[in-house]
């Protein structure tokens, strides 16, 4: 298996633009997690899904952020409109069973100017 | 609420010396504890976990961690550090029931000098 796949790897956009980050979890995994990593705040959980259903989105910072998982092999994290403070590395992770360790993707480095 | 504290932003150690990266946690119920490592421009990689059983857990690359319930600690250790161990290390916790999300510590940068 190729592991968790994220795209794009890097994204640079202007403030106010819509940003869509994509994730393909490991096949067969039933949990998917979106994390954000910044120097100031470290690694924060934004939202996670179980069997494509959002379970906990309490980490989503604002209504500008939304996440979907239309099927077991694909999830998106959308920011609309983007702001400079959204600049961070966004990680997607998946796991088989929520108690097991997560497999992390390589991350998407987002820069909003 | 669950939380993780990694009191050291950076740990410096000479190659060949033992290393310890500290982690304490707070959780309601029994803890599931994890250590991850992050190399530059890479995602987090799993090192080891404690779910139940022996308090000393052995993981990848010669790392081990000791679960201490009374001190609510889960320190990461390695008997002999390598320069290639230099990376960012994260401790994480979740309770054995309820919310499945892991809470991560702020990370500790390990620098191993040749």
pLDDT at A2: 76
Closest CA to B57 of B46, B47, B65: B65
| Token code pair at residue A21 | 């980050």
Facing residue for A42 by CB, picked from B34, B51, B107? B107
pLDDT tens string A30-70: 999 999 998 888 889 999 999 999 988 888 988 999 999 99
Query: What pLDDT does B41 receive?
Result: 76
* Predicted local distance difference test score (pLDDT) of residue B10: 96
What's the confidence (pLDDT) of residue B99? 66
- pLDDT value of residue A30: 93
Q: For residue B99, give how far its alpha carbon lies from the nearest alpha carbon of chain A (Å).
A: 8
3-state SS, one letter per residue, for chain B = CCEEECCCCEEEEECCCCEEECCEEECCCCEEEEEEEECCCCCEEEEEEECCCCCEEECHHHCEEEEECCCCEEEEEECCCCHHHCEEEEEEEEECCCCCCCEECCCEEEEEEC
Max Cα-Cα span within chain A: 38
Q: What is the pLDDT of residue B44?
A: 86
Minimal CA separation from B94 to chain A, in Å = 8
Question: Quick check: B44 and A33 CB within 8 A?
Answer: no
Q: Which of B36, B43, B105 lies nearest to residue A105, judging by beta carbons?
A: B43
**How would you write the pLDDT of chain B (114 residues) with one tens digit per residue?**
788 999 999 999 999 999 999 999 998 888 999 999 998 878 888 899 998 888 999 998 999 999 999 999 999 999 999 999 999 999 999 877 766 678 889 899 999 999
pLDDT of the residue at A98: 65
Bond preceding residue A66 cis, omega within 30 of 0? no
**Banded model confidence at residue A17, pLDDT cuts 50, 70, 90:** very high
Q: Is B104's CB within 8 Å of A43's CB?
A: yes
Q: Which residues of A touch B101 (CB under 8 A)?
A: 33, 45, 48, 56, 59
Query: Distances in Å between the alpha carbon of A41 and those of A79, B2, B4, B58, B104?
Result: 18, 16, 13, 29, 11
Q: B22: which 2 tokens?
A: 């500290």
Q: Please tell me the distance from the alpha carbon of residue B109 to that of residue A47, in angstroms, as a whole number.
A: 26
Residue A101: its pLDDT value, please? 73
**Average of per-residue pLDDT values in chain A:** 91
What's the pLDDT at A1? Answer: 60
CB atoms within 10 A of CB A78: 15
Nearest CA in chain B to A34: B101
Chains A, B: CB contacts within 8 A come to: 52
Q: DSSP secondary structure string, A36-85?
A: EEETTTEEEEEEEEETTEEEE-TT--STTEEEEEEETTEEEEEESS--GG
| Nearest residue of chain B to residue A5 (CA atoms) | B43
pLDDT band at A100 (very low <50, low <70, confident <90, very high): low
A56 contacts on B by Cβ (under 8 Å): 99-101
B103 neighbourhood in chain A, CB within 8 Å: 45
CA triplet B12, B15, B18: central angle to 5 degrees? 75
Please give the pLDDT value at position A39: 84
Residue of chain B whose Cα is closest to the Cα of A97: B100
Residues A20 and B48: their CA atoms lie apart, in Å, by 32
Q: How many residues does chain B have?
A: 114
Instruction: Report the alpha-carbon distance of residue B71 to residue B84 in Å, rounded.
Output: 30
Quick one: how many helices (H) and strands (E) in chain A? 0, 11
Counted residue by residue, chain A has a size of: 113
């Amino acid at each position: 298996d190729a592991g968790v796949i994220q795209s794009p790897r890097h994204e640079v956009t202007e403030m106010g633009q819509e940003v869509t980050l994509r994730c393909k979890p490991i096949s067969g995994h039933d949990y998917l997690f979106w994390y954000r990593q910044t120097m100031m705040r470290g690694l924060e959980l934004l939202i996670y899904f179980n069997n494509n259903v959002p379970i906990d989105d309490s980490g989503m910072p604002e209504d500008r952020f939304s996440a979907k998982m239309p099927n077991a092999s694909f999830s998106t994290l959308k920011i609309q409109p983007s702001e400079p403070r959204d600049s961070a590395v966004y990680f997607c992770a998946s796991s088989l069973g929520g108690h097991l360790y997560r497999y992390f993707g390589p991350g998407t480095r987002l820069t909003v100017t | 609420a669950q939380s993780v504290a990694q009191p050291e932003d950076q740990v410096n150690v000479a190659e060949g010396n033992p290393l310890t990266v500290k982690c304490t946690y707070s959780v309601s119920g029994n803890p599931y504890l994890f250590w991850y490592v992050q190399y530059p421009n890479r995602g987090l990689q799993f090192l080891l976990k404690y779910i139940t059983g022996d308090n000393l857990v052995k993981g990848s690359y010669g790392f081990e961690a000791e679960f201490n319930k009374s001190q609510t600690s889960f320190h990461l250790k390695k008997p002999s550090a390598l320069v290639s161990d230099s990376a960012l290390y994260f401790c994480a916790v979740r309770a054995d029931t309820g919310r499945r999300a892991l809470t991560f510590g702020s990370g500790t940068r390990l620098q191993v000098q040749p």
